[in-house]
């Protein structure tokens, strides 16, 4: 096996949920008692949410799967930016003290706009080119990501700045996000696509593989089996969580209570469709509410 580097429905589906309430009257005036918002176009961001929940177990978390508009990668830049602003604005209305953009596509397209508009820490995904380049011994680093991410100026800039002489072999992976969004994780379904995408990288003798999409960690057992023990796999969610912890410590404040944080799950999609996939990936029952649904839904 490869080494892995650490990284119920509302009656009215169009109304917005009640704001997130602090734990007590005393917490109401303190930003650090507020929740952290996390969003993705679908369920992929749950891989990031899991790391946040494990590393910051006292924090209250709100997750929003914007499934009615997934995948973001098939939309224009203007559409993605507009939708990211709506979702981020909703999380701020719920009292979020920080927002994690758990979606590489939304990051490369919209994060600058979000940071300009919202006066809270906004932490976002970034393909881990820098640590991968420092880690490689063969001089070849593979990157699995969506076509939109790999074609972005931001990705090209990361390669220019941090490749440090390493060969960055980028592999677009159409179809993988859709498999995860449907909960199709079994090797019989995933191996044909993964073989098509991983073999060219292995032929280039990569020894480090970057997962450049938050959906891909849910395919890690199969990816790891196929790459073998000679390839180190980097999940950027670990670094994102570490950055979030730093930002909370310096800006927004850590949760003041000593108990376990509360998790709340929302989607713009149809809960009866999205809910079973979230429960499969989260490996626990969840109460899912619908918000921000399109008017034609």
What is the phi/psi pair of residue 151, to 5°?
-85, -5
Distance CA 135, CA 193 (A): 27
The CA-based angle 41-180-182, given to 5 degrees, is 90
Residue carrying structure tokens 């109304």 = 15
Out of 213, 226, 248, 291, which one is annotated catalytic?
213
Q: Are 274 and 67 in contact (CB under 8 A)?
A: yes
- Half-sphere exposure of residue 56, counting CA atoms within 13 Å on the CB side? 27
CA distances from 279 to 5, 130, 158, 287, 288 (A): 25, 33, 34, 9, 10
Pick from 189, 194, 181, 182: nearest CA to 225: 194
Q: Are 176 and 193 in contact (CB under 8 A)?
A: yes
Residue 32: Cβ within 10 Å count: 15
Residues in a beta bridge with 144? 171, 211
What is the phi/psi pair of residue 111, to 5°?
-65, -35
Angle between helices 153-162 and 104-117 (to 10 degrees): 100
213 is catalytic: yes
Q: How many residues does the chain have?
A: 297
Residue carrying structure tokens 């979230």 = 278
The contacts of residue 76 (CB under 8 Å, 6+ apart) are none
Out of 100, 103, 170, 244, which one is annotated catalytic?
103
Q: Report the catalytic residues.
A: 103, 213
């Amino acid at each position: 096996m490869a080494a892995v580097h650490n990284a119920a429905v509302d009656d009215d589906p169009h109304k917005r949920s009640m704001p997130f309430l602090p734990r007590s009257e005393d917490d109401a005036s303190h930003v650090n008692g507020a929740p952290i918002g996390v969003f993705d176009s679908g369920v992929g961001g749950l891989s990031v949410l899991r790391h946040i929940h494990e590393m910051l177990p006292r924090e209250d978390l709100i997750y929003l799967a914007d499934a009615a508009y997934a995948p973001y990668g098939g939309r224009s830049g203007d559409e993605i930016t507009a939708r990211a602003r709506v979702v981020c604005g909703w999380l701020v209305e719920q009292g979020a003290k920080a927002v994690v953009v758990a979606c590489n596509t939304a990051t490369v397209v919209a994060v600058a706009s979000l940071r300009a508009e919202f006066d809270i820490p906004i932490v976002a995904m970034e393909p881990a080119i820098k640590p991968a380049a420092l880690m490689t011994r063969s001089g070849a680093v593979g990157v699995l990501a969506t076509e939109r991410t790999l074609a972005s100026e931001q990705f090209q800039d990361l390669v220019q700045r941090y490749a440090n002489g390493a060969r960055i072999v980028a592999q677009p992976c159409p179809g993988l996000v859709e498999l995860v969004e449907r909960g199709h994780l079994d090797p019989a379904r995933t191996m044909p696509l993964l073989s098509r995408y991983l073999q060219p990288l292995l032929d280039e003798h990569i020894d480090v593989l970057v997962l450049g999409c938050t959906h891909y960690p849910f395919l890690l057992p199969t990816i790891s089996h196929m790459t073998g023990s000679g390839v180190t796999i980097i999940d950027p969610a670990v670094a994102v969580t570490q950055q979030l912890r730093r930002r909370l410590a310096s800006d927004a404040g850590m949760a003041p209570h000593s108990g376990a944080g509360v998790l709340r799950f929302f989607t713009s999609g149809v809960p009866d469709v999205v809910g079973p996939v979230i429960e499969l990936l989260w490996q626990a029952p969840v109460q899912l509410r619908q918000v921000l649904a399109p008017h034609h839904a």
